[in-house]
Amino acid sequence: MTLFDAYRYDGKRALVVGGATGMGAATAELLLSAGAEVVVMDYAEMSLPGAKAIHVNLAERDSIDAAMDQVDGPVHALFSCAGVADGTPGIEKINFIGHRHIVDRLLAKDMLPRGSAIGFISSAAGLGWEANLPRIKEYLATPDFDSAVAWVAANGGADYMSTKQAMCAYVSCQALPMMKRGIRINAICPGPTDTPLAQANKEMWLGFGADYREEVGVEAATPLEQAYPLVFLCSAAAGSVNGITLITDSGYFAAGITEIFPAATPVANFLLGRM
């Protein structure tokens, strides 16, 4: 035993939702390397040797319930990584409501023991959630999958930015009740990351912040570079970290809000609802 063992996952079961591709796949691979028993849920086929694969369609409650019935035993770390881009039918379910339903199922079945952790992959697009908190809290007050879907149908929010704002707000709102159960909940907000989803929306997603990256001499992040902080947040080494959305964008947002990189300032102000 060493002090560094707090960063490892030996003897722990990790559930990675959306672990077949992109950041989720990198997370699953990193967790295996860290000693975890890894279960991957995804709509796409998973090919990671050593991990258990479960098919799920996050846009369908019955599919989620059937997938959850295949998880045998406690989940010490839940990684909610699945997401789709604007224009995808059911985006509000796939990007947020379905993930929340998984958390609710785990809690109802007492499958998140004390000392467990939840980690979401949000986005820089979710950073303006504080300005919309009253509306989002009304959304989060919906008690289940179907009522949340109905709320979005009546009030809007079936778009990428709204789903990520809901996710960031959910993390903050759940910090207290989760911690009372001995569970930590956090998220990362990545900047542009070279994933299959980003490549499919290359001009917008990977073009964002390109001037900043050229200025500082870095490329868009790799999936593994985003998996590292996510896996850390759910490890015992982050035992005092709870309710945060960690911005992982190589400093673009910080440079914008401080006007150190003026070209990023309008974007930062927009994301924060300061326009």
Quote the pLDDT of residue 149.
Answer: 98
Quote the pLDDT of residue 195.
Answer: 85
Q: What is the mean pLDDT of residues 270-275?
A: 77
User: Which residues 6+ apart lie within 8 Å of 259 measured at CB?
Assistant: 265
Strands 37-42 and 245-248, bridge-based pairing:
unpaired
Q: What is the mean pLDDT of residues 84-90?
A: 95
pLDDT confidence band for 209 (50 / 70 / 90): confident
Q: How far apart are CA 206 and CA 219, in angstroms?
A: 10
Q: How does pLDDT run across 7-54, given as a tens digit for each residue?
A: 999 999 999 999 999 999 999 999 999 999 999 999 999 989 999 999
Are 139 and 102 within 8 A, CB to CB? no
Q: How does pLDDT run across 229-260, given as a tens digit for each residue?
A: 999 999 999 999 999 999 999 999 999 999 99
User: Which residues 6+ apart lie within 8 Å of 87 measured at CB?
Assistant: none
Q: Give the burial class of 1: count Cβ atoms within 10 A of its Cβ; 0-12 exposed, 13-18 middle, 19 or more buried.
A: exposed
Quote the pLDDT of residue 51.
Answer: 97
Quote the pLDDT of residue 275.
Answer: 62
Q: How does pLDDT run across 60-71, given as a tens digit for each residue?
A: 999 999 999 999
Question: Taking the domains of the chain in order of start, what are their residue ranges?
Answer: 3-271
Q: How does pLDDT run across 125-170, given as a tens digit for each residue?
A: 899 899 999 999 999 999 999 999 999 999 999 999 999 999 999 9
Q: Is 142 helix (H, G, I), strand (E, B) or coil?
A: coil
Q: What is the mean pLDDT of residues 89-97?
A: 98
CATH architecture of the domain with residue range 3-271: 3-Layer(aba) Sandwich (3.40)
User: Which residues 6+ apart lie within 8 Å of 199 measured at CB?
Assistant: 206
Percentage of residues of the chain with pLDDT beyond 70: 100
Quote the pLDDT of residue 148.
Answer: 98
